[in-house]
Amino acid sequence: MADLHGKKIILGISGSIAAYKSAFLTRLLVKAGASVRVLMTPAAAQFISPLTLSTLSKNPVYSDVQSEAGWNNHVELGLWADAMIIAPATANTLARLAGGICDNMLSAVYLSARCPVFFAPAMDVDMWHHPATQENLRKLRTYGNEIIPVEHGELASGLVGEGRMAEPETIVAFLTEQFLRRQDLAGKKVLITAGPTYEAIDPVRFIGNRSSGKMGIAIAEEAASRGARVTLVLGPSALRAKHPGIDTIHVESAREMYVRATAQFPECDIAVLSAAVADYRPVKVADQKLKKEDGTPKLELERTPDIAAALGEMKQAGQRIIGFALETNNETANARKKLEKKNFDLIVLNSLRDAGAGFQHDTNKISILSQDNKTRHFELKTKAEVAKDIINTLLPIL
C-alpha cells in the first residue's frame, strides 16, 4: 500500500473528461496519509463538482485567483506543498504552463511552487502526438517537472491510442516512488564542479569555452532533491541553482576552482566533475588592456592545475568520483583512458558529433563508462533527465 503519511499534496485539475478520475485520485491520496488541497480551472468545474472534491479532500477547493481566498492562498499554497500533481493536464494547460501564462488559480500556484511538480496528461491521440504538445512537454521537463506517462487505450473520442490519463493507482504509486527516490542520497555530501573557467589575458580579454553550466547545475539540483548536501563550485555562468540545499561557490579561473574543489573534497562522499576547465592559461597577464597599436600580442601558455587528477590522487576508500569527457573522435577509447588515468569510478561521455548534445543545449546524449569495463548508452534527453540517469547509475556503487 502507498505510504504518503504527512505529505502535503496539491492536486490541480484542468478541464478534461478525465477529471472524473480526480475524485478517485483524491480519495487514494488521503487514504495513503496525505493532506490534499485541490485547485480547479473554471473548465474543470464543468466536469466534476468542487463539492465532491472538497468533501473527499476535507479542505476547501480553490478555483478563482481573483477571489479573496484565492489571492491570499496562491503563494502560500506554492510554499506549503511537498508536491503538486496536475491531473488531468490538458493540452491547453500544458501550453499555458510551458509558456508561463498566469490567468487562473492553477497556473498562479504552479508558478509559485517550490516543490516538485508532476503532470498527468490527458487528451486525444492526435493532440498528444502533435509537435506543439511534445514541445510543451519538453519545455516542462527542462523546468525540472516530471511527466507521468500517458496510457494506451480507448479515448473519449472513440479512437484507440496514447493519450489516456494514467489511472489514479498508477499516479499514487509513481508519486510514492518519487518520494522514496528523493531520499536515496540523504546524509551524503556531494561536490559538483560546473561551468567554464576564464583565464585572463588582460583586464578585458580571456581564454574560455562555450560551457553554460546547465549540466552541472541540473546534477546539483537532482542530488539536492534526493537528500544530499551539495556544494556547487560554479565557474562564470549566467545560470544559478535554485534548490535551497545547494551551497554555491562562485569562481572564475581554473586555479580558483582547483583551490575550492581540493579544499572541499576531503569532506565529501561524492565528486561530480562536470566543469569544462581550461587546459591552458597565459603565463603573464597584462595589467592594462592590450592596444591594437602595440602590435599582435604573443601569448605564452602554461598548463592549468588538473583538478580531476588531483582529486583522483586524494580519493579515499568510500569516496566516489564521476568525471566527464567531451570528445570529437575515438570517443569511447579516449573516455576509458581518462577513466583509468584519473582514478574515476564512472565517466560520462559526450560526443560533439551527436546533435543536441554538448555545450549550451537544453538536451544531452550521454554514455556512462564504469570501472568494470561496462558502458551504458542513453538516448537524447533533457539535461534534467540526464542528471537523473547519472545519479541512478551512481547509486549501486555507493
Q: Could you tell me if 73 and 38 are in contact, meaning their C-beta atoms sit under 8 angstroms apart?
A: no
> Looking at the domain assignment, is residue 1 inside a domain?
no
Place of cell 506543439: 132
> What span, in angstroms and rounded, lies between the C-alpha atoms of 73 and 48?
22
Task: Give the tens place of pLDDT for each residue, 381-394.
Answer: 889 889 999 999 99
Residues in the chain: 398
Q: List the CATH number of the domain containing 203.
A: 3.40.50.10300
**124 and 229 together in one domain:** no
> Looking at the domain assignment, is residue 160 inside a domain?
yes
Place of cell 506549503: 80
| Closest C-alpha among 49, 3, 10 to residue 28 | 3
Place of cell 496519509: 33
**87 and 128 together in one domain:** yes
**62 and 205 together in one domain:** no
Strand 367-370 relative to strand 117-121: parallel, antiparallel, unpaired?
unpaired
Split at pLDDT 50, 70, 90, the class of 291 is: confident
**177 and 214 together in one domain:** no
**160 and 198 together in one domain:** no
> What span, in angstroms and rounded, lies between the C-alpha atoms of 183 and 268?
17
Query: What are the Cα distances from residue 292, in Å, to 23, 266, 288, 296?
Result: 72, 46, 13, 7
> What span, in angstroms and rounded, lies between the C-alpha atoms of 174 and 395?
20
Indicate the residue among 134, 159, 181 that finishes a domain.
181
Q: Could you tell me if 246 and 232 are in contact, meaning their C-beta atoms sit under 8 angstroms apart?
A: yes
Give the residue ranges of the annotated binding site for CTP. Answer: 279, 289, 324, 338, 342
**284 and 387 together in one domain:** yes
Based on C-alpha coordinates, what's the Rg of the chain?
24
Q: What is the largest CA-CA distance in the chain?
A: 80
**Would the CA dihedral through 128, 129, 132, 135 be positive or negative?**
positive
The DSSP call for residue 165 is P
pLDDT > 60? residue 70: no
So what's the pLDDT on residue 3?
79
* Cross-strand partners of 118: 85, 146
**148 and 36 together in one domain:** yes
Task: Give the tens place of pLDDT for each residue, 17-27.
Answer: 999 999 999 99
Q: Residue 67: which residues within 8 A CB-CB, separation 6 or more? A: none
Residues forming the active site: 209
> Looking at the domain assignment, is residue 3 inside a domain?
no
Indicate the residue among 157, 181, 205 that finishes a domain.
181
> Looking at the domain assignment, is residue 295 inside a domain?
yes
So what's the pLDDT on residue 71?
61
| Closest C-alpha among 308, 247, 232, 248 to residue 277 | 308
Cell matching residue 21:
478520475
Split at pLDDT 50, 70, 90, the class of 257 is: very high
Q: List the CATH number of the domain containing 152.
A: 3.40.50.1950
How many Cβ atoms are within 10 Å of 298's Cβ, its own excluded?
5
Whether the bond between 168 and the residue before it is cis, its omega within 30 degrees of 0, is no
The DSSP call for residue 104 is S
So what's the pLDDT on residue 98?
96
> Looking at the domain assignment, is residue 379 inside a domain?
yes
pLDDT > 70? residue 2: no
How many Cβ atoms are within 10 Å of 78's Cβ, its own excluded?
19
> Looking at the domain assignment, is residue 2 inside a domain?
no
**239 and 365 together in one domain:** yes
Indicate the residue among 161, 181, 201 that finishes a domain.
181
Q: Could you tell me if 6 and 29 are in contact, meaning their C-beta atoms sit under 8 angstroms apart?
A: no
pLDDT > 70? residue 72: no
Q: How many domains does the chain have?
A: 2
> What span, in angstroms and rounded, lies between the C-alpha atoms of 93 and 13?
10
**168 and 39 together in one domain:** yes
Q: Could you tell me if 122 and 162 are in contact, meaning their C-beta atoms sit under 8 angstroms apart?
A: no
Domain boundaries, position 257? 189-397
**19 and 140 together in one domain:** yes
So what's the pLDDT on residue 247?
96
H or E segment and range at residue 340 = helix 331-341
> What span, in angstroms and rounded, lies between the C-alpha atoms of 135 and 198?
34
- Percentage of the chain exceeding pLDDT 70: 96
| Closest C-alpha among 236, 325, 227 to residue 270 | 227
So what's the pLDDT on residue 357?
66
H or E segment and range at residue 207 = strand 206-207
Split at pLDDT 50, 70, 90, the class of 356 is: low
Q: Could you tell me if 196 and 235 are in contact, meaning their C-beta atoms sit under 8 angstroms apart?
A: yes
**68 and 120 together in one domain:** yes
Q: Could you tell me if 197 and 254 are in contact, meaning their C-beta atoms sit under 8 angstroms apart?
A: yes
Task: Give the tens place of pLDDT for each residue, 297-316.
Answer: 788 999 999 999 999 999 99
> Looking at the domain assignment, is residue 245 inside a domain?
yes
So what's the pLDDT on residue 353?
72
Q: Residue 276: which residues within 8 A CB-CB, separation 6 or more? A: 195, 196, 197, 209, 210, 211, 235, 326, 359
**174 and 306 together in one domain:** no
